[in-house]
Structure 1
């Protein structure tokens, strides 16, 4: 793949400095140097320490990324919300794991995306999953289609620059229409899977807005300001309002839904390759819509 920039600087700089300013990491530069890539200045091959003086066209050519056999291929379908050269955004159904794990079959979203890449004959077969959802949480999952795009997203995640919005249905009635849940989260002592609020956990911040109040429950829009495992589920359970259907954290059951009532509905991040914010929405799944509509009908 080729990525090209024009050097607009008026003072001399090394090629690697310009590349770093555009998000190219040291690890990516090593791949370019040792695995068949190239750095070009005005289409002439150079080293990363080559000095630029201004006005040059700088191109980075990255090698193809060959998939490994550790990730199996699935021919099961995926629902694509957005795709371009650099990113693939998929609407994950509930009941499908994001990535393979112990005792989980190889029909995860990552396996399906690899199968899709192969069917499309993409030269890059490495599956770069950059955001993940619990198996029974539905909604948006972002894949980078190459190493460079992945490193861009990793940086935004570390800087908390990505905006992820969820829709959840929680039990009980929240006191405020808008609030913050700010408690550290760590692994529960008695479970490999479960998380809990604990003083020695990692800082975790969740913001919510009540969208609709229903009998014995509330529909909330949630923004994650940090990305801890089970963060939304843990924070609302600790606040005394576990999600409907969330058996792991004590949520009440409901015949309309057989999983936690949680859906990643919006993702927004800055895409430097197209030089604009990219915003994607995932429609509400049928079970969550049924839960909300059934409870709304009970009010009349």
Structure 2
């Protein structure tokens, strides 16, 4: 059973424990945390508390993360776009609309289901729900993902993500005309305080940095390349909205009046990392899908 430790700071004093813990790990939902508190998987100074407990300075919180309930994740034959594969790593080009890994209530049709049919060896570090998955991209974001086929490779790739040495470049179409050619957004990201289904730039969020450069300007949109220095949930989508240029088609962070696209116009086009075994730097490129290119053609005609 994994344990997570957290020492309450002065800034966090007075916050309900179920709310505070959602900022410790952005993947934890408040409902999930409340269940853990009720089942005594969360202890404060060695004692059980209620979900409405207000934290005090220097409280020592221990979260005993329960083992995931085993699910019968079925292998499913899919026509996966495998860009690279060897005995340690797979690089796959994920299509728009595909979820990366199963979740309760959604156990089929994901990239993991397809990977399980494609190969028998996937790392087990992330458990039965996410075998081989080192990092994720959103359902409606297309592009390149690296997948680990064993635990040694998985750990090595995660270390590179933590050290910010993995190259991850995305193409995006955003609302508005960005006047400057280059920019860096350095703003912390955490759960939106008014909508728990969203992420936002918040004072106590996790460090997040996105670099961008303008590829082409249109009448009222801009084609940009975004490079991730960190990899927070919805990072590019949140950061571009934060500076006033939300992604076209983004149902969660963008305006309702937008381009005709089913989901955000975002494509993970470049992925580079050091191979965990050979120590050679590998870099892969994937052109944006036809739907994305069609939008660019449409915007060019409107100029």
TM-score normalised by the chain length of structure 2: 0.71
User: What does residue 72 of structure 1 align with?
Assistant: 74
Secondary structure of the 1:115 match is helix
Q: Counterparts in 2 of 1:1-300, with a 5 A limit?
A: 70-117=72-119, 122=120, 126=124, 127-299=131-303
Q: Taking structure 1 as reference, are residues 230 and 124 closer, same or farther at Cα in structure 2, changes over 3 Å only? A: closer
Deviation at 1:162, TM superposition (A): 0.5
Q: What runs of 5+ residues in structure 2 fail to find an aligned partner? A: 1-69, 125-130
In the alignment, the residues of structure 2 paired with residue 268 and residue 115 of structure 1 have an alpha-carbon distance, to the nearest angstrom, of 25
Q: What runs of 5+ residues in structure 1 fail to find an aligned partner? A: 1-67
In the alignment, the residues of structure 2 paired with residue 98 and residue 267 of structure 1 have an alpha-carbon distance, to the nearest angstrom, of 17
User: Across the two proteins, how many residue pairs are aligned to each other?
Assistant: 228
In the alignment, the residues of structure 2 paired with residue 270 and residue 183 of structure 1 have an alpha-carbon distance, to the nearest angstrom, of 28
* Runs ≥4 residues deviating over 6 A: none
Q: Deviations over 1:238-293 (max 9, x none)?
A: 11111000021123544542210000000001114223111111121011100011
In the alignment, the residues of structure 2 paired with residue 159 and residue 96 of structure 1 have an alpha-carbon distance, to the nearest angstrom, of 28
In the alignment, the residues of structure 2 paired with residue 165 and residue 262 of structure 1 have an alpha-carbon distance, to the nearest angstrom, of 10
In the alignment, the residues of structure 1 paired with residue 196 and residue 76 of structure 2 have an alpha-carbon distance, to the nearest angstrom, of 28
Deviation at 1:190, TM superposition (A): 3.4
Contact 1:114 1:125 in 2 (8 A): no
Deviation at 1:222, TM superposition (A): 0.6
TM-score normalised by the chain length of structure 1: 0.72
Contact 1:213 1:219 in 2 (8 A): yes
Deviation at 1:175, TM superposition (A): 2.4
RMSD over aligned CA atoms reads 1.7
Secondary structure of the 1:153 match is helix
Higher gyration radius (CA): 1
Between stretches 90-99 and 270-279, larger displacement belongs to 270-279
In the alignment, the residues of structure 1 paired with residue 112 and residue 196 of structure 2 have an alpha-carbon distance, to the nearest angstrom, of 22
